[in-house]
Amino acid sequence: MIHISLPDGSKKEIARGASLLDVAAAIGPRLARAAVCALVDGELRDLRERLDKDASVTFYTRGSLQALEVLRHTTTHVMAQAVKRLFPTAILGIGPAIENGFYYDFATEQPLTPEDLSSIEKEMRRIVTEDHPIERLDTALEETREILAAKDERLKLELLDDLEEETAVLYTQGEFVDLCRGPHLKRTGEIKENAFKLLSIAGAYWRGDESRPMLQRIYGTAWESKKDLDGHLENLAQIEARDHRKLIKELDLVSFHEEGGAGLAYWHPKGGRMRVIIEDYWRKLHYEGGYEIVFTPHIGRALLWEASGHLDFYREGMYAPMNVDGQDYYIKPMNCPFHIMIYKSRTRSYRDLPLRWAELGTVYRYERSGTLHGLLRVRGFTQDDAHIFCTPEQIEDEISRVLDFSLNLLSGFGFTEFSVELSVRDPKTPEKYAGEDPMWEQAEVSLVRAIEARGLPYKRMEGEAVFYGPKIDIKIKDALGRAWQLTTIQFDFNLPQRFDMTYIGEDGKEHRPYMVHRALLGAIERFYALLVEHYAGAFPVWLAPVQAVVIPISDRFLEYAQGVVDELRKAGIRVEANFSTGRMNAKIRDAQLQKIPYMLVVGGREQETETVSVRLRTEEDLGARPLAEVIAMILEKTEARSLI
């Protein structure tokens, strides 16, 4: 007999070799029916697995996150089975459950097309209806190899060769056999035939390796119920409706041009207005926060990039040089060497430090064509870059400051949920990194203290640091709960050395300053795309490119309407006049579609009483208000940078 500890603290005695399903049955028949998988000493297991020693066990029932993962994993097997039925020569790759769904990779003779998805789905429904029992077979490696070889599953054989265990696990359902660790559902019929959907088809390198063949990947999603599936599809529709690529076009903010080249954004007047507002706010906060703002060239001689090491390590990310007067000049992919030039323009004393220099620096990087994506991934962009040069004694205080500064700036735009990732070096390969051990240790301590002092949740990422220093990245959550990495704060132990930067210390000797790179919004383009999606184009009044539109109900009131427009404009409000000959209803609709916060309707009543009727884009009707009151209301929201 062995002893099983349960989460409520109780224990069960059960025969050695009993399956987890037996354990569940011993606890109660209802659990046995509802259980999908179990956590055994910290590992997620299949209910068919047998226990041969004492263990602590937690069962997960339908509805739990873990059960959903199992459901998705089984659904992807059903998909693979369907694919094998329809395309018998398809070779299985891997097929895991992922967030909100699953995928499976196949090597196929013919590429799959989107039209194949519906026939695969149909076959999947058949397999679900056939309700095959799913068997788990722990099999000796050699036998497994024979089984897979007989089915010509060469990719699975490759996985098998890399297996470290002594036995392999095969799962079967009907004619389908797969090498898989599990866990899985007990029958294909447990999948709801109307609660899954295949979504897309894409190429994916075998084992994520570009030098290996490209497989066909099918993505799908699966849920406990049709209602959950519909909810998820609704969510996807939401994301699509907020897609900045659609909104920047509809709202006339930014465009891209085939003639101008991929990944290069054109800011229209309305996008430009918003950008100026964002950047002015950024500048104001930087001056208040003890930064100085600098400007540096867009191109620099090869010498500079040789000194920085960019030409050695980052050349493929840079645009090709242009030759001027026999000298090679490169468009800058980063601002740092230029700021270092300013630093080196004179002798620096410890009394000068810390120096905090910020620049909205436009850089160009050659991103691979396939990675470009609207404003989120471009080839030309403006970083809200800054470099902090300080003494070792100042570093902790500086990190602390920059963290507060970042959180403050981001919350100004309406982002208040943060999480932090701390990337440190891999202790096993210290030789890969620039800088001395004590520097890394001090840097890490100052980063950790700064994070912990603010009670921010953080993840420590071992070995994720870049070679020149540790860093922290701040992620924010948007209105749809998606995480975006914006801020990055990075130590640099490399460049001060490469450029032989020094300052004169109290002791009259030369010392090496510490250098910290930081970008808070990241790239303005990317941040802007995020703002568009976060607000679904309905920007807070202080950011809205057009804050108010004046709508006369007929052109008999044009004169009064023009007076209203003049007053608003004089007060500094971004106002548009819709004086076209159309009906008021159409103008309201236009303004609504443009998501303009205030619609000011003027007709006879308003003219007589020196008022405007205020309609909000939320469809709320505030009725007629004195013009002065409306101006004050809009200005108040603007100045307070109110988020609605």
Partner RNA sequence: GCCAGCGUAGCUCAAUCGGCAGAGCAACUGAUUUGUAAUCAGUAGGUUGCCAGUUCGAUUCUGGCCGCUGGCUCCA
Contacts of 146 (CB under 8 A, 6+ apart): none
Kindly tell me which of 13 and 210 has the beta carbon lying closer to RNA: 210
288/5 Cα distance (integer angstroms)? 59
Strand, helix or coil at 84? helix
Catalytic residue among 471, 518, 587, 625: 471
In angstroms, give the least distance from the CB of 368 to RNA: 3
Closest alpha carbon to 519 in 379, 387, 376: 387
> Could you give the string, one character per residue 222-261, with x where binding to RNA holds by CB under 7 A and - elsewhere?
-----------------------x---x------x-x--x
Residue 92: closest CA among 178, 170, 160: 178
H or E element in which residue 169 lies: strand 167-173
Alpha-carbon distance of 144 to 345, in angstroms, equals 69
- Catalytic residue check, 511: no
Active-site residue, from 383, 394, 490, 594? 383
For residue 37, indicate whether it is catalytic: no
The site map against RNA for 500-539 (x = CB under 7 A) is ----------------------------------------
Nearest approach in angstroms of CB 283 to RNA is: 26
Residue (of 362, 366, 332) closest to 263 by Cα position: 366
CA–CA separation, 461 and 458 (whole Å) = 9
Strands (E), 332-417: 355-364, 380-390
Burial class (CB in 10 A: 0-12, 13-18, 19+), 436: exposed
- For residues 616 and 388, give the distance between their C-alpha atoms in angstroms, rounded to a whole number: 44
Q: What is d(CA 547, CA 600) in angstroms, rounded to the nearest whole number?
A: 11
The verdict on 459 binding RNA (CB under 7 A) reads no
- The smaller minimum CB distance to RNA, of residues 204 and 571, is found at 204
**385, 425, 534, 615: the active-site residue:** 385
To the query of whether residue 383 is one of the catalytic residues in this protein, the response is yes
Per-residue binding letters, 143-172, with RNA (x by CB under 7 A): ------------------------------
Q: Least Å distance between CB 608 and RNA?
A: 9
Q: Which is nearer to RNA, 396 or 590 (CB)?
A: 590
Number of neighbouring beta carbons within 10 Å of residue 538 = 16
Among 462, 582, 628, 644, binds RNA (CB under 7 A): 582
Contacts of 638 by beta carbon, 8 Å cutoff, 6+ apart = 541, 542, 547, 573
Contacts with RNA in 598-617 (CB under 7 A)?
Answer: 599, 601-606, 613, 615
Q: Which of 154, 368, 460, 482 forms a contact with RNA (CB under 7 A)?
A: 368
The single residue among 166, 210, 431, 507 that binds RNA, judged by CB under 7 A, is: 210
DSSP type of residue 321:
P
Active site residue 387: yes
Site residues for RNA, window 288-347 (CB under 7 A)? 308-310, 312-314, 317
Is 517 a known active-site residue?
yes
Binding flag, residue 200, RNA (CB under 7 A): yes
Q: Which of 37, 77, 173, 336 is catalytic?
A: 336
Q: Which is nearer to RNA, 355 or 602 (CB)?
A: 602
Stretch in the footprint of RNA (CB under 7 A) among 9-17, 159-167, 209-217, 289-297: 209-217
- Between 11 and 368, name the residue whose CB sits nearer to RNA: 368
Q: How many CB atoms lie within 10 A of CB 94?
A: 20
CB closer to RNA, 183 vs 537: 537
Interface with RNA in residues 263-282 (CB under 7 A): 263
Q: CB nearer to RNA: give 118 or 580.
A: 580
Q: Shortest gap between Cβ of 638 and RNA (angstroms)?
A: 21
* Rounded-to-10 torsion of CA 425, 431, 432, 436: 60
Whether 471 is a known active-site residue: answer yes
Cβ of 238: how many Cβ atoms within 10 Å? 13
Q: Give how many residues touch RNA by CB under 7 A.
A: 71
Q: Which of residues 106-125 bind RNA (CB under 7 A)?
A: 111, 113-114
Q: From the candidates 356, 387, 518, 587, which is the catalytic residue?
A: 387
Cα 431 to Cα 570: distance, rounded to the nearest angstrom: 63
- Is residue 616 within 8 A of residue 598, CB to CB? The reply is yes
Query: Per-residue string for binding with RNA, 464-503, x by CB under 7 A?
Result: --xxx-----------------------x-xx--------
Residue 630 binds to RNA (criterion: CB under 7 A): no
CB of 90 to RNA, least distance (A): 14
Q: Which is nearer to RNA, 170 or 363 (by Cβ)?
A: 363
Nearer to RNA among residue 133 and residue 582 (C-beta): 582
The residue behind tokens 């599953």 is 153
Question: Closest Cα partner for 593 from 617, 575, 574, 573?
Answer: 617
Q: Quick check: is 66 catalytic?
A: no
Count of other CB atoms within 10 angstroms of residue 96: 14
CA dihedral 474, 475, 478, 483 (to 10 degrees): 170
Restricting to residues 419-448, name those near RNA by CB under 7 A.
none
Cα–Cα dist 223/349, whole Å:
64
Determine which one of 270, 275, 365, 574 is catalytic.
Answer: 365
Residue 51, amino acid: L
Residues 61-80 that bind RNA (CB under 7 A): none
- Three-class SS state of 467: coil
Catalytic sites, residue numbers: 336, 365, 383, 385, 387, 471, 517
